[in-house]
Structure 1
Amino acid sequence: MKTTIIRFLLLALSFSIISNTNVLSQALPKIIGDKATIKQNYLPDYSFAGYHNGELQILNKDAHIILAIDYGAIPNDGLDDSKALINAIEATNDIKGNVVLQLPAGKLILSDILYIKRSHFVLRGSGVGNAGTEIFCPRPMMYLDNPEQLKELREYLIEFDKREIQKNNNIDLPFSQYTWSGGMIWTQVPGERVKSYLRKYDQPSRVLAKVKQGNRGEHVMTVSNINGLKVGDIVQLELFNTEGEKGSMIQDLYKNSNVKIGSHHWEFPDMAIVKQQVEITKITNNKITINSPLTISIKPSYNAQLVEWKHLDEVGIEQLRITFPNAPRIAHHVEPGYNGIYLTRVFNSWVRDVVISNADSGILSEEIANVTIKDIVTEGTEMAHYTVAISGSYNVLVKNLKVYNKAFHSLSFNTLSTKNVYQNCEVFNSPLLDQHSGANHQNLFDNVKVHINPNEDNTYPLFTGGGASYWKPSHGAYSTFWNLNVHVLNKQDSKKPIILDGMKGDGPYAYIVGVNGNNTFKIDYGPHSYKENINESLDEVPSLYDYQLKKRME
């Protein structure tokens, strides 16, 4: 009898083991918990986003502290502090090591651009509350001298006659140079282009190595030559579509989906379609190891190369408030330039503990990598263009952003943005989760909460993506929404699900995992989207970023 019982128990245990060999964890969504699903659906590892790939905390390092008041920045006196602040920043250029420019508590008036042009520099206020630091910008950037760095953009807007046309509103106006560029606080590498717009300004890159082969999701590349590269170098990986409209790179980015591909993907074969700014961690013969994984596999036709990337390191902006006056809005793309912070060419840097009021755009970015932007509030009474926007950037983490103002693009992954993350963010006013076209791919909306007022037909265009037709579709394969919490503001019949849409016939192969809220929802997304745990909260894994980071660091 005992032998029979033991045999029965062993058989039951054996059956249990066999039946669960395909399951990693019953509590996890299948896309991270079921071996067969994992094998069939490539899920990018987003955990490399942020300051030092999320592996180090942002700390107040030992630094030489410069006091802005020593250069004449006197708060609350009603006088302009621009010259004093500019002089204080310039005084730090001759100081080696870490430097902090400490701003006093109170209201400072800024009517000119503060350029940050050095590494290991922190612009620090005294906090965002009533006893903190306020930088008040009384006039928009359109009244300042034209920045030399935007000369190419100005020529581009004129040459291609970029205009905002709204016939019903009697609007036919040229685009502003500040609609997606510029800021009153602006990081830059002197002499470097903000972004390529016109071919006549193109210069040959300094090629450091030609890349022959590398696999998606891996860190190792095979190169044909190494031009003085060493461990610790920060370089840019560039991949080109040299095969025209039907090129294999286009097929790789959009996974052979039947979506309309904009002409910019093939009309400029000498323009890199995929970029990653990476640190070299190991060199062995003709093998180079980088700090974060490749987003697509490298083929010979991509003419892949590693090139010099000039940038700033360890730059921080923190603990201050930036405010603009209430001003009437004219039209989309015609913003006068009430822009807060413009981040260009920074690596392993951050913005934290900042409140921005009444901005056209709160924080803009272009060609930055491994940056953390956290604990940010945007607010105001007028319509904004962007709140915190990620453009042309890689491995950027936007964490704990609170959006109280209305914006055309509440959260936005823009042209050539890759492996970036919005985590633990909340949008209170007319939210749109924008993927703005331009070969952006593999970006993550992670544990984001939105507050919506559905349309009368029980729909809400949450996934509406912007961008020009020549850069469509809205995004490439594997863009991900994880644990999206939707709070419905007006009363709805809970028996009728609200349809979340806005991506009809566009962005392919998206992952939508975990949509929940105070109503029931249906998801109407682009072609070949993967949906799981709709109307379920992901309590076991509320954040994919945190889950992947913890797993990688174990």
Structure 2
Amino acid sequence: MKNIKKYLLAAGVLALTSVVNGQESALWNEFKAAQTSNKVAELPDFSYAGYHHGEKGIPDVTHQVFNVSDYGAVPNDGKSDKEAIRKTVAAAVKNGSGIVFFPKGRFLVNEDDDDQKPIVIKGNNIVFKGSGSGPDGTELYMKNYLPAKDPKKLWTCPYMFQFTGGGAEKVLAEVTQSAHRGSFELKVNDASKIKAGDWVVVRVKNNAPDLIEHEMCGCHVDKAWTSLLNKGVYVNEYHQVKSVKGKKLVLKEPLMRHVNAKHEWNILSYAHYEEVGVEDLAFIGNWQDDFVHHKDYIHDGGYSLLKFSRLANSWIRNCRFDDVNRVVSVSLSSNVSVLNCLVTGTPGHNSVSSSSSTRVLVGILDDQSSQWHAPGVSGASIGSVFWRVKYNEDTSFETHASQPRASLFDCVEGGFFLGRGGGARHNLPNHLEHLILWNYKELGEPETDFEFWSSKTWFWKIIPPIVVGFHGAGTTFKEDQIKVLESLGTPVNPESLYEAQLELRLGKLPQWLIDIKK
């Protein structure tokens, strides 16, 4: 590996002072300086993650209320409420917006006589709202698992509740000039089909050898990684257009990855819905077995509860998930916030996952269930932030291969060990450039010379990450596999990189963030 940099604490009094007060991060100072020097900082800017770029809080919407009780749902009566919920959803969607409201009590969504199909919600401005996620609130209970589309493909179990956009993506323009990471501008051959306010996809899919070499940052490419070698480097960033000036697009958010025009980057339309929410609900599965990874489709995904797909500026908040195999998937989405949620019950497969999405914010999440894969990323996700997330010492974060990039684990507390990343061999590496662990507090037993590019197994390969303020159990790292190592064993200031970057951009912390931390 090459181009490895290390920032190490000095010994003696400085190190002692850092334990008490926390030393200001050198990387953070470099990031601040880069904002006025027109240089590309080592740290990407994660401050645009989440609902409306973190600039405003999730709203308490005032849409027309569609009460499931008015459409035939009766809590606690032992009868299925599935069709009544579907009728309520249909009425809200037809209206163009609506709050699908659930009173207190348990509603049954997949009983013996039900059709064993998911509940699918397609529309803008649709909010599922319960009467609280605690024991005396609203529970949506899934008695029976949903069968896999193909039992031999263990990942094909559908999620019970699917909020999804749809439609075709069309190529709108070709990128004609390279742009560095952090830039807000892209020059294209024709901007006539794009206007201010549009959402677009910035995409490349190319297996040019020099592009693969650049992506690997000096690391060896295994011949078994056929997805990367044959299909190529795949970047899929969602952006909203701020303005169009001739053939120049000005984006609302900075690029999270360098764009080299010679590799045929395109601008596509983005088929999606917006302002979709789920809040104040408990999603209860019926998963009771001892979990065995990849035993069958039931273990891997039978009780999968909530999926967001092709959504922007949407949210999940104040929810509880109990006895499930897969908790939440945020797929092909942008600027989704998952905040103040609790995961409990029997250990299953996946927790909250950002899958091929852009700038997802998962924050104030307490995962007590010891899912096999703790919260994390998969697919071509970019700009994901896991902020003040907690999970148990017997699990570790997900890095599920298929080209995730630029993921921030910020003030995370939980287990840390090889083997829970995930991903088929042909889809490796597990994570590409800019995996960042910031003030990560490790629970459990320490390891010596921990490897991010394992010499012992094929299934743990991560491009050298940035590790700052890693502390807790006492793990040390094989330092030639880390791009930046700063303040090992001692947290740094700022405590939270996401908060610090957001405050630097906005001038102050937004009130929603102050309130949720109380």
What's the TM-score bracket when you normalise by the shorter of the two chains?
0.7 to 0.9
Following superposition, the deviation at residue 89 of structure 1 comes to 0.4
1:508 is matched with which residue?
A: 463
Report what 1:392 is aligned to: 356
Deviation at 1:344, TM superposition (A): 0.6
Residue in 1 that maps onto 2:411: 447
- The change in CA–CA distance for 1:241 and 1:525 in structure 2 (over 3 A counts) is farther
C-alpha change, 1:139 and 1:86, in structure 2 (3 Å) is: same
Match of 1:486 in 2: 442
Deviation by residue 1:330-350 (Cα, 9 ceiling, x = unmatched): 742323220110111000000
Aligned partner of 1:532 among 473, 486, 495: 486
The runs of 5 or more residues in structure 2 that have no matched partner are 1-21, 111-116, 456-460, 508-518
Does the aligned pair in 1 maintain the 2:365–2:389 contact within 8 Å?
A: yes
Matched, 1:411 2:375: yes
Matched, 1:319 2:275: no
2:154, 2:53 → 1: CA distance? 35
Between the aligned partners of 2:40 and 2:25, the Cα distance in structure 1 is 14
Alignment map for 1:17-166 (pairs within 5 Å): 27-34=23-30, 42-96=42-96, 98-111=97-110, 112-142=117-147, 154=150
**Once the two structures are superposed, what CA deviation does each residue of 1:365-384 show, in whole Å capped at 9, x if it has no partner?**
22011100011111112x31
Once residues 331 and 263 of structure 1 are traced to their aligned partners in structure 2, the CA distance between those partners, rounded to angstroms, is 27
Q: Letter of the aligned partner of 1:424 in structure 2?
A: R
**Are 1:259 and 1:508, in contact at CA under 8 Å, matched by a contact in 2?**
no
Paired residue for 2:500? Answer: 547
Matched, 1:366 2:331: yes
Q: CA deviation at 1:209?
A: 1.2
Larger Rg: 1
Contact 1:431 1:462 in 2 (8 A): no
Contact 1:344 1:367 in 2 (8 A): yes
Q: Conserved in 1, the CA contact under 8 Å of 2:400 and 2:423?
A: yes
For residue 124 of structure 2, what is the amino acid of its counterpart? S
Closer, same or farther in 2 for the Cα pair 1:71/1:251, shift >3 Å?
Answer: same
Q: 2:282, 2:273 → 1: CA distance?
A: 23
User: Any conservation in 2 of the 1:413–1:440 contact (CA below 8 Å)?
Assistant: yes
Q: How far apart, in 2, do the equivalents of 1:475 and 1:550 lie?
A: 28
Q: Which amino acid in structure 2 is aligned with residue 485 of structure 1? A: K
SS of alignment partner, residue 266 of structure 1: helix
SS at 1:33 equivalent: helix
What SS class does the counterpart of residue 315 from structure 2 fall into? strand
Aligned equivalent of 1:346: 311
Of 230, 246, 258, the match for 1:297: 258
Q: Could you state the TM-score of these two structures normalised by the residue count of structure 1?
A: 0.79
1:21 maps to: none
Question: Identity rate of aligned residues, in percent?
Answer: 24
By how many angstroms is 1:259 displaced? 4.7
Q: Could you tell me how far 1:464 is from its partner in structure 2? A: 4.9
Q: How does 1:237-248 map to 2 (within 5 A)?
A: 237-243=202-208, 246=209, 248=210
Q: Deviations over 1:496-518 (max 9, x none)?
A: 8766556425312310000122x
Structure 1 counterpart of 2:254, one-letter code: P
- Equivalent pair of 1:253/1:441 in contact (CA under 8 Å): no
RMSD, aligned α-carbons: 2.5
Partner of 1:11: none
- Matched to 2:127, the amino acid is V
CA shift, 1:207, in A, is: 1.3
Using CA pairs under 8 Å that are at least 6 residues apart, name the structure with larger relative contact order, 1 or 2.
2
Letter in 2 for 1:433: F
Q: How many residues matched? A: 466
- CA deviation after TM superposition for structure 1 residue 275, in Å: 0.6
1:75-111 deviation digits (Å, cap 9, x = unpaired):
1111110010111101112213x41111010010001
Aligned to 1:287: 248
> Where does residue 175 of structure 1 map in the other structure?
153
Tell me the SS of whatever aligns to 2:487. Answer: strand
Task: Look up the equivalent residue of 1:113 and give its one-letter code.
Answer: P
SS in 1 for 2:375: strand
Q: Which runs of 5+ in 1 are unaligned?
A: 1-25, 147-153, 155-172, 193-204, 453-459
Any idea what the Cα deviations from partners look like across 1:439-458, whole Å, max 9, x if unmatched?
211111110011x5xxxxxx
| Rounded Cα–Cα distance in structure 2 between residues aligned with 1:284 and 1:40 | 24
Q: Return closer, same or farther for 1:297/1:325 CA change in 2, 3 Å cut-off.
A: closer
SS in 1 for 2:440: strand
**Whole-angstrom distance in 2 between the partners of 1:27 and 1:190:** 48
- TM-score (normalised: structure 2): 0.84
The structural deviation recorded for 1:523 is 2.4
Whole-Å separation in 1 of the counterparts to 2:453 and 2:376: 14
Deviation at 1:521, TM superposition (A): 2.8
* Counterpart AA for 2:454: K
Q: Aligned in 2, Cα 1:128/1:498: closer, same or farther, shift over 3 Å?
A: farther
**Does the residue aligned with 1:461 lie in a helix, a strand or coil?**
coil
- How many Å separate the matches in 2 of 1:501 and 1:105? 49
Does the aligned pair in 2 maintain the 1:215–1:298 contact within 8 Å? yes
- For residues 173-322 of structure 1, the aligned pairs below 5 Å read 174-178=152-156, 182-190=158-166, 205-213=169-177, 214-243=179-208, 246=209, 248-260=210-222, 262-268=225-231, 273-322=234-283
Residue deviations 1:523-550 (CA, integer Å, cap 9, x gap): 2477343211111022x31110111111
Q: Which amino acid aligns with 2:145?
A: P
C-alpha spacing 1:497/1:439, structure 2 compared with 1 (3 Å): closer
Counterpart in the other structure of 1:465? 421
**Alignment correspondent of 1:455:** none
* Structure 1 residue identity aligned to 2:436: T
C-alpha distance in structure 1 between counterparts of 2:393 and 2:152, whole Å: 28
Q: 1:23-65 CA distances to partner (integer Å, 9 max, x unpaired)? A: xxx9421111258997796211111110111111101122111
Kept in 2: contact 1:222–1:286 (CA 8 A): yes
The Cα of 1:294 is off from its aligned counterpart by 1.5
Letter in 1 for 2:247: N
